Every structure is written in structure tokens, then in C-alpha cells.
Amino acid sequence: MGPSLDRRKALILGGGALAVAAQPSLAQSLPSGTIRILVGFPAGGGSDVMARIIADKLKERTGANIIIDNRPGASGNLACELLKNGPADGSVLMYGTSATTVAQRVTRKQLPYDVEKDLVTLCLAGTVSVAYVTSSTIGVRTLPEYIEWLKKNPRRQNFGTTAMGSMTHFFGVLLGQAIGTPLEPVAYKGAGPLIADLSAGHAPAGCGGVTDFLTHHRADKLRILAVSSPKRLNAAPELPTITELGYPKLSYDGFYGFYGPSKMSPGLVALWNKELRAVIDSPEMRQRLTTVGLEVMTSTPTEMFARQSQLISYMTASMKAAGVEPE
């Protein structure tokens, strides 16, 4: 069982200050063996791509043997449970998205872990918006064109979601409500399978993190119709925001970041925060991550925990608006 929530908050209290104070006194160091970074989705999706980019740079900086361990399934819950039960020596981390950590906290009545008690926030990597996309095979390039297409194809009013019970699910449902055409979610085990079906024309539309789709959009394998970000993306300023298209209430930003098991010591939390921020904030890394659609932003552990808490409240309200009850 993890520590109490009060103790959990105390462990990360002070964030950046902790990083300064804890390292000299505790003389922490990274594990000498293999370090695993869990990713709760299949290889090839946005989460996997970003994790591998960051891991490669971490290897260069630390000299450690760092591998990506893909554990797809249950909308990322398998990876979260593995992390909860993982060793506390800093050898197992998780690169997670709010589409898993926050969404599961909001939508499930019971989980094998508690995101606030069993996982410790280490460092944000950045924010990410949801993208609503269509298959290039249906021949639409804008949201108004898609709305007209739906009227002519009433039996194809469905969209694939990369994670049921997340904003990649709710955003599509709420978009359907906003345009007056109910859209039915279809569950996929991550972005890779959904992109394959979109490219082949087996799925007419989909919803996921913009990082999942940007490369494929540019290759014209699918078409991003709208992003949920409040402002245009640095990585793709040509993409229209949902606010510009007339639906400001659907505006939303999720996040990506690193987690550890709650048993991890404050010294290790501080050390991993230092190493991750140094890598992610480097000009080269910021450029590479921006290219795949991430709005790069690092943080202290405390700041990431606060953003997570705020998003839990926001998503709870969004779920109610989408007419979804916790399962």
C-alpha cells in the first residue's frame, strides 16, 4: 500500500527546492543496472515515439542502459499497475499521458492503483491537445466538409478513440453534441492500430493526441480537422483550433510526463527531476519534441502534481457533460 495522500504531497513539496537540497545531503545516484521506462501503449504511437527520443538523450547524458518497455492494454492501466509495484530504486519509470493517469482516475470506480497515492510525479514533458482526424479515404479536409459528409453517411457516424474513458473519447462525443450529429466512440488499443485502420479506410474518423497523428497528417494518410488547444500549436500553426471553428467550450490541453512509484525516496525524485529537465529543456530536444506535436514544458514534481489535480476536476466535469458515468 502506498503512503497517505498527505505524506505523498509532502514527499514532493517544494519541487525545485527539494532538488537543490536533497542531492548533496543524500548523495543519490541513478541505478547502475538497466533502467526501464514503461509506456502504456504499443510501439509506433506518439507516447512511444516521444519516450524513445527522450530515452536516447538520457542515455547520452547519464551513460545508463535505458530501454523502453511497451505495456499496452486497458488504456494504459497495465503500465500504471506495473509501476506501482515496481522497485523504488529509480530503475523503473513511466512516461505517461493524462489520457491514462487522469482519465482512469476520473472514469473508473475501481483501479488496481491510485494515481495520487501510488505514483509519484517526477517531471512534465509538455502539454498536448487532442486532435480529431478523418481518414484520407473519405475525401474531407475541413470540419465543415466532415459535417456535410456525416449527413450523407449516417451509418458511419463513429470514430476510433486511442483510450476509452479519456479526453480522446469525451472530445469526440462532445464534438458530436456540438455539431448536432451524435458520434459513437469505438475503442482501440492505442494510436498504432487506429492509424492503421484510418489509413486503410476501415475507420472513417478518430480522436487521439495530436502527437499520435501529426506525422501521418503531413504524409496525407489522414487529415487533422481540429485540435483542442486554446491556441495554435508551435509544431503545426496551420492546424485550426476548435475555438476558431466555433466551439470554444471544447478547448482542452492534456499533458505528458514522467512518473515513478510512490515508494521512491525524495532524493531520487529530486535527482530524476534534475536529469529529466536537463534533457527535455535542451534546445535540440525541445525542437525534436515540438516537431512531433508536443508543446514542451518541464516542471517541478509539485507543479506536475498540481496540474494533474486541476485536470482531474476538469475531466470530471467533461465526463458528466458527455453523459458518461464512472464504471
pLDDT tens-digit map of 85-137: 999 999 999 999 998 899 889 988 899 999 999 999 999 999 989 999 999 99
Q: Do domains 5-128+253-321 and 130-250 have the same CATH topology?
A: yes
Higher pLDDT, 178 or 10: 178
Enter the pTM of the model.
Answer: 0.77
Least confident of 14-18, 76-80, 173-177: 14-18
Give the model's pLDDT for residue 2.
44
**pLDDT beyond 50 at 229:** yes
Tell me the domain boundaries of the chain.
5-128+253-321, 130-250
Q: What is the CATH number of domain 5-128+253-321?
A: 3.40.190.150
Give the model's pLDDT for residue 107.
87
What is d(CA 257, CA 125) in angstroms, rounded to the nearest whole number?
5
Higher pLDDT, 279 or 7: 279
Give the model's pLDDT for residue 63.
94
Q: Which architecture does CATH list for 130-250? A: 3-Layer(aba) Sandwich (3.40)
**pLDDT beyond 60 at 22:** no
Higher pLDDT, 23 or 316: 316
**pLDDT beyond 60 at 70:** yes
Mean pLDDT of the chain: 89
Q: What per-residue string of b and e applies to 171-207 under the rule 16 or more CB within 10 Å gives b?
A: bbbbbbbebeeebebbebbbbbbbbebbbeeebbbbb
